Structure 1
Amino acid sequence: MREIVYTGFMSLDGVVDSPGGAVEGHRSGGWVFQDIEFVPEAWTIKGEELEETTALMFGGRSYEAFAAVWPGSADHVAYKDLPKYVVSSSLSEDALVDGWGPQTVLRSTEEVAALKEGEGGAIFVHGSAELARRLSEAGLIDRYHLLVFPVLLGAGKSLFSREDNDKRTLTLRSSEAYKNGILKLIYDVN
């Protein structure tokens, strides 16, 4: 069975959208790169994740945002040939970007569950807050890799559902605090 790992940047109040820009339309877009001192060691998590990543997964809107930048980005060249799964009920196969490795559109949470049951390594979900909530509610997220930023945004998409779902416990796998206030938190879902 494959693991599904959510990785993302999160504000202290749980917002995960618009870390690099104002694409979601709220006033705090771009918050990851604003007002917080750059500390290189806080970003080592991305290299660690890459060693473990065998495929990427996105929701439809996140796919469109990443596909507009990552295929030609020197910073993301290691992701180029990895398989990508896009979970969307509306994105057409024609909308997939050429030259960005094998790409498959999955139409439902059930198709994600079937993929997870197959052989292979870890699938990392980047961005995609709505997808992450649906996968969590279906019990399909195995691990969270979070960089938590010392900022309260007050607006934006939350990683975690506010619905009346069953309680889930997490086990801290590793953590680290950086001098700029960012926390690295890696949790296994029990």
Structure 2
Amino acid sequence: MTRELVYTGFMSLDGVVDSPGGIVEGHRSGGWVMQTEFVPEAFSLKGEELADTSALMFGRRSYEAFAPIWRDSEDHAAYKDLPKFVVSSTLTDDALIDGWGELALLRSVTDVEKLKQTEGGAIYIHGSAELARGLADADLIDRYNLLVFPVLLGAGKGLFPHTDRPKQQLRLLDSASYDNGVTKLVYAVEH
């Protein structure tokens, strides 16, 4: 039995996943999640995920953006003691921040594949669009937990690879739509 690797994130209707929280993240339309009316039940997926999360995984840029904020955030306190894996060929051990639980560097897709073969529960990838695309190309993503927002951004980092690759079938596990136009889509990847 392999560990499940789950991508979770906010996505625009045209597939953009970067800069949902603010302009400082680099996208000209940054902050697009905050521009949608807040409906608490539209974010219930995040609470459900927490019960299933045994570890977190990030690419380098997402780690550098999230770690300093999430480490001290009350909203992310439940993540503090979870093991975290950062996939980067350039980040060094001394660049990892202290006080945010167990942190380990993975250097390659092969390292992620080996991690999936270890004992433990689901590993959740937050942000990290480039990492997710690479892992999807390697057929390592097992599930997508998406909150799709009713906005077309026209530019930005997309979640899904645009490489010429074989078709990948998904199976809908759960879905819901909310009054603010957000749609929850949970898909299992059929390997």
Shorter-chain TM-score tier: over 0.9
Q: Which position in structure 2 is the counterpart of 1:52?
A: 52
CA distance, structure 2, for counterparts of residue 108 and residue 23 of structure 1: 28
**What secondary structure, in the 3-state scheme, does the structure 2 residue paired with 1:69 have?**
helix
Quote the Cα distance in structure 1 between the aligned partners of 2:16 and 2:9: 10
Partner of 1:155: 155
Q: Which residue of 2 aligns with 1:83?
A: 83
Matched, 1:141 2:141: yes
- Correspondence list, 1:12-161, <5 A: 12-34=13-35, 36-161=36-161
Counterpart CA distance in 2 for 1:68 and 1:24 is: 14
Deviation (angstroms), 1:26:
2.5
* Percent of aligned pairs sharing the same letter: 68
CA distance in 2, matches of 1:52, 1:33: 26
Aligned partners of 1:139 and 1:98: how far apart in 2? Answer: 32
C-alpha distance in 1 between matches for 2:87 and 2:5: 13
1:16 aligned counterpart, secondary structure: coil
Structure-2 separation of matches of 1:26 and 1:74 = 26
Displaced runs of 4 or more, over 3 A: none
CA distance in 1, matches of 2:78, 2:101: 11
Is the 8 Å Cα contact of residues 81 and 100 (structure 1) preserved in structure 2? yes
Quote the Cα distance in structure 2 between the aligned partners of 1:85 and 1:22: 26
**Gap regions ≥5 residues in structure 1:** none
CA separation in 2, counterparts of 1:24 and 1:46? 21
Alpha-carbon shift at residue 24 of structure 1 (Å):
4.3
69-78 or 19-28, which moves further after superposition?
A: 19-28
Check conservation: 1:24, 1:156, Cα contact below 8 A.
no
Equivalent AA in structure 1 for residue 48 of structure 2: E
CA distance, structure 2, for counterparts of residue 111 and residue 161 of structure 1:
20
TM-score by length of 2: 0.98
Supply the AA of the counterpart residue of 2:93.
Answer: E
Q: SS in structure 2 opposite 1:68?
A: helix
**What 5-or-longer segments of structure 2 have no aligned partner?**
none
Deviation at 1:55, TM superposition (A): 0.1
How far did residue 104 of structure 1 move? 0.2
Distance, in Å, in 1 between the alignment partners of 2:165 and 2:28 is: 30
Q: Distance in 2 between matches of 1:62 and 1:178?
A: 28
1:185 to partner: Cα distance: 0.2
RMSD (Å), alpha carbons: 0.7
Q: Any idea what SS the aligned residue of 2:71 has?
A: helix
Partner SS for 1:47: helix
